[in-house]
Structures are given as structure tokens and as C-alpha cells.
């Protein structure tokens, strides 16, 4: 979830609880060996034992199409101690696909295999290598070929987003297709896509046959969803409100002022799927752009809640 679920939001959401592991935004690998400072800038958890401040481990995700260059960068990254290396074969963004990254590689299962195998050889044997794929690029014709390529290349785990690149993020997700992949490979398969609530999660697990989920937009919209899936109590809006203010403080020093307000509104726009309070707050900040103005409204909202 490039541009949304960065390390600041990982910090905030993992404080809510219920999450076993996170994956970083993708780190794009083209034709050069990246310096350590790029890895730590995009994934500052590397400076904290590869864990969020709440203690949740984070795997570093790489995206690219050159096996040798990906392997070289994975080896350097591995020395920084991530909780694992994840490979992105699922991004549907046109710009990424145009440069031979993400879901477009699912048309080339041989290359997918070579990438996974090269990265697996390049990092220590004890460091997990995982991958994420969609059901295909334009169709599902090579779905099982790609799953086999990932497993045969040495990945220990495969996450499957249950749509093709052509489907984008349009509902529905085809969870039953994941069952075919799960039956075809010997490695653990994790289901992903269109899980917004506990009912979706139950159906996804039943149709896919998986026993684990990766949550994306559903968790950003409802940070308590992982807790609910564990049978625990989800936080109310009153508990979420301070986390929104924390998020604003975390992004302010590193995000250009003209973008800060957009980031906050972007998260609020998803939160309002779950919380009425977020809906009301979104309407109050929707037309604001300056971070100072938005922070003022956030503070007023907290004061009004305390006075109520």
C-alpha cells in the first residue's frame, strides 16, 4: 500500500494490537545497489531490531525484475537484520508495471522463479524469504505456474491477493481460487484481499482453505480488526482518536507540509468506513489543506469529546 501504509502508520496501527507481522512498503530495485541509508529511510524499523515501537516484527519488501540486482540488494539488506525479505509480484500500479515490476511479472513465471531463487541464495539460510502475488496479470492462465515458480524458487511462504491485476481492487475477491494454489504448492499460503470485517475473514478462510490472513486496507480502515479476529474487543472511536493525532505528529517532521494534510485525510477517509466519529471529523477537515488547520480541528475534536 504505497503512500498509505508507511512506517508511521505501521507504528500507530501496531499499537492497537493483534498483529503478528508487518511488511514494509515496497523498496524499488532497478539497476543499482542501494546504500544502507535508503533501506533505513524507507524502513526505519531496521534501526530498532526490525520491529515497530510496539514490538511487531517487520519484513522488508523488494520490487524489481533483475534477479542479480535484487539478489545483491537483498544481501546488503539482510545484513541490516530485517525479520525477513518479501518479494512483490502483486502491485497493480500502471507506473510500476510499465517498468516491469509487480503484477506484470506474472506473465513470466520463469523470471519469477529466477528472482526468488537468486534472492534465496543471496540471504542467510535462516532468514525467511516470502512472496506476494495476484491471481495473474490479465487472467489466471499462469496462476499455478507462478505459484510453483515461487515455491520451487525457495520461498518459505506465499501470500495471494485474490484478484488479477486487471481486477485491480474492484470487489469481489476470488478467495476460492486461492484454494487451487494452496493445493498445488507445499509451502504455507496466506489469503489476502477484500477482508473488511470478521464475516469477510471467516468466508475468506473457508473458501481459500487457508489458516492465515494478510490484512491491508481492511486493517487501515479498522485498526482493531486483527483483535476482533482473535476474539478480543475492538477499540472504540474514543480510543482511536488520540492515535490519529499521534499519526499527525509522526508524519509532520518528514512529509512535505503540502502533503501532510492529504495523508491525514486519506486515513480518515478509510476510517469512516468503520467509525461514525471519523465520518464527522472527515467532514470537518475535508476542505482544509494546511497541517496546522487540520491539527487544530483534531485538537478541538478531542476537547469536545472530553467535555461531552
Q: From the CB of residue 25, how many other CB atoms can be counted at a distance below 10 Å? A: 20
- The yes-or-no answer on residue 91 being catalytic is yes
Asked whether 240 and 275 are in contact (CB, 8 A), the reply is: yes
Contacts 24+ apart (CB under 8 A), 124-129: 124/78, 127/78, 127/82, 127/84, 127/85, 128/59, 128/83, 128/84, 128/85, 128/156, 128/157, 129/84, 129/85, 129/86, 129/87, 129/154, 129/155, 129/156
| Beta strands, E only, 44-171 | 58-63, 85-89, 129-134, 157-161
Which of the following is catalytic: 91, 146, 210, 260?
91
Contact 187, 158 (CB under 8 A): yes
Give the single-character DSSP code of 51.
B
Sign of torsion, CA 99 104 108 110? Answer: positive
Residue with cell 476537547: 303
- Residue ranges of the alpha helices (H) in 93-231? 94-98, 109-122, 143-152, 175-184, 198-208, 217-221, 225-229
Distance from C-alpha of 253 to C-alpha of 35, rounded to nearest angstrom: 22
Q: Which residues are annotated as catalytic?
A: 91
Amino acid at each position: 500500500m504505497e503512500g498509505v501504509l508507511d512506517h508511521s502508520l505501521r507504528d500507530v496501527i501496531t499499537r492497537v494490537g493483534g498483529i503478528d507481522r508487518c511488511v514494509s512498503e515496497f523498496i524499488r530495485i532497478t539497476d543499482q545497489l542501494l546504500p544502507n541509508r535508503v533501506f533505513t529511510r524507507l524502513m526505519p524499523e531496521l534501526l530498532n531490531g526490525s520491529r515497530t515501537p510496539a514490538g511487531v516484527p517487520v519484513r522488508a519488501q523488494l520490487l524489481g525484475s533483475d534477479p542479480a540486482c535484487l539478489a545483491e540488494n537483498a544481501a546488503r539488506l539482510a545484513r541490516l537484520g530485517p525479520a525477513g525479505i518479501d518479494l512483490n509480484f502483486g502491485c497493480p500500479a500502471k507506473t510500476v508495471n510499465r517498468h516491469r515490476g509487480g503484477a506484470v511479472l506474472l506473465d513470466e513465471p520463469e523470471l519469477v522463479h529466477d528472482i526468488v531463487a537468486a534472492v534465496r541464495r543471496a540471504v542467510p539460510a535462516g532468514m525467511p524469504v516470502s512472496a506476494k502475488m495476484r491471481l495473474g496479470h490479465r487472467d489466471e492462465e499462469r496462476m499455478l505456474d507462478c505459484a510453483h515458480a515461487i515455491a520451487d524458487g525457495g520461498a518459505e511462504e506465499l501470500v495471494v491477493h485474490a484478484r488479477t491485476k486487471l481486477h485491480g481492487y474492484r470487489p469481489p475477491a476470488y478467495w476460492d481460487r486461492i484454494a487451487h494454489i494452496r493445493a498445488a504448492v507445499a509451502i504455507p499460503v496466506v489469503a489476502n484481499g477484500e477482508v473488511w470485517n470478521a464475516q469477510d475473514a471467516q468466508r475468506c478462510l473457508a473458501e481459500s482453505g487457508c489458516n492465515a490472513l494478510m490484512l491491508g486496507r481492511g486493517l487501515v480502515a479498522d485498526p482493531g480488526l486483527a483483535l476482533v479476529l482473535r476474539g478480543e474487543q475492538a477499540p472504540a472511536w474514543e480510543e482511536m482518536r488520540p492515535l490519529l493525532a499521534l499519526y499527525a505528529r509522526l508524519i509532520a517532521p518528514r512529509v512535505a507540509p503540502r502533503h501532510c494534510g492529504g495523508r491525514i485525510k486519506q486515513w480518515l477517509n478509510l476510517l469512516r468506513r468503520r467509525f461514525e466519529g471519523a465520518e464527522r471529523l472527515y467532514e470537518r477537515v475535508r476542505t482544509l489543506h494546511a497541517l496546522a488547520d487540520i491539527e487544530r480541528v483534531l485538537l478541538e475534536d478531542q476537547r469536545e469529546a472530553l467535555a461531552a
